[in-house]
Every structure is written in structure tokens, then in C-alpha cells.
């Protein structure tokens, strides 16, 4: 049974199987402490329960972060990214035209610019 807080730096070096095993251990220990609390255990169990809950969260965070980083590597040169790996931004920004789409000029517009260019006026500036 682990009674000390788990440091996240220790977790980053572990592989997925070790993390899953540690998660199961932490959850069983948490369940035991909760039953002891209901049975009328000491108030010192409350801080241990708090620490265990936070440790479970840390382990899950490391598991999810490593999984997401592996997915990012997998989808690196693919045409499409899963929605949860795409940049969030705002809804309006996601629907905005890309730089390439915005710079495209239609044939009709090209002809119009060629045949009717912007007029240049020679206006004397007053000082």
C-alpha cells in the first residue's frame, strides 16, 4: 500500500502496462479506505483518501497525455486529423477561408482587372 503522494515526474518514465497496474492498485486502496471510513475509521483517513484521489488523477493524466502524443505522431503526415487533435480556436475561425482560398481570383475577376484596371489620377496635393 502506498501512502505517499505520487510525483508526476516518476510517472512519465513508465510504460502503459506499469501505469495501468499502478492505477488498479491505487483504486483498490482507495476502495479499502472508503470502506474503513464508513465503518468508522479515524479522520486521518480523509487526507489519505484525498491524496489517493489526486494520485489516481495524475496517473490517468499521464496515460491520456502519452496516448494523445502517440496519436499525434501517428496522424502527423495524414490528410485528416481526428477532431479532438485539431486546434480548438473559435467556431468562426475554424469556418474562415484558408489563406489559399482567400487569395484565389476567379477568371471573370482576372479579366475584369485586366480590361478595367484601377484608374490613376494626377491630383495636385494642396499644402
CA-wise closest residue to 59 among 29, 32, 20? 20
Rounded to the nearest 5°, which phi and psi values hold at 28?
-65, -40
In angstroms, what CA-CA distances link 59 with 6, 17, 24, 25? 9, 12, 10, 11
Note the pLDDT of residue 83: 93
- Coil, helix or strand at residue 93: helix
Contact (CB, 8 A) for 71 and 81 = no
Dihedral sign computed on CA atoms, order 33, 39, 45, 51: positive
**Rounded Cα gap, residues 11 and 1, in angstroms:** 17
Over its length of 127 residues, how does the chain's per-residue pLDDT go in tens digits? Answer: 555 788 899 999 999 999 999 999 999 999 999 988 888 777 777 889 999 999 999 999 999 999 999 999 999 999 999 999 999 999 999 999 999 999 999 999 999 999 999 998 888 878 7
Note the pLDDT of residue 101: 96
| pTM > 0.75: yes or no | no
Amino acid at each position: 500500500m502506498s501512502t505517499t503522494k505520487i510525483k508526476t515526474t516518476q510517472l512519465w518514465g513508465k510504460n502503459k502496462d506499469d501505469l495501468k497496474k499502478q492505477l488498479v492498485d491505487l483504486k483498490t486502496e482507495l476502495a479499502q479506505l472508503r470502506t474503513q471510513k464508513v465503518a468508522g475509521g479515524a479522520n486521518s483517513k480523509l487526507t489519505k483518501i484525498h491524496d489517493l484521489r489526486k494520485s489516481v488523477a495524475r496517473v490517468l493524466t499521464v496515460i491520456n497525455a502519452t496516448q494523445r502524443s502517440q496519436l499525434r505522431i501517428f496522424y502527423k503526415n495524414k490528410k485528416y486529423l481526428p477532431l479532438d487533435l485539431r486546434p480548438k480556436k473559435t467556431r468562426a475561425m475554424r469556418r474562415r477561408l484558408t489563406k489559399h482560398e482567400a487569395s484565389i481570383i476567379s477568371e471573370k475577376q482576372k479579366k475584369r482587372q485586366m480590361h478595367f484596371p484601377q484608374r490613376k489620377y494626377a491630383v495636385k496635393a494642396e499644402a
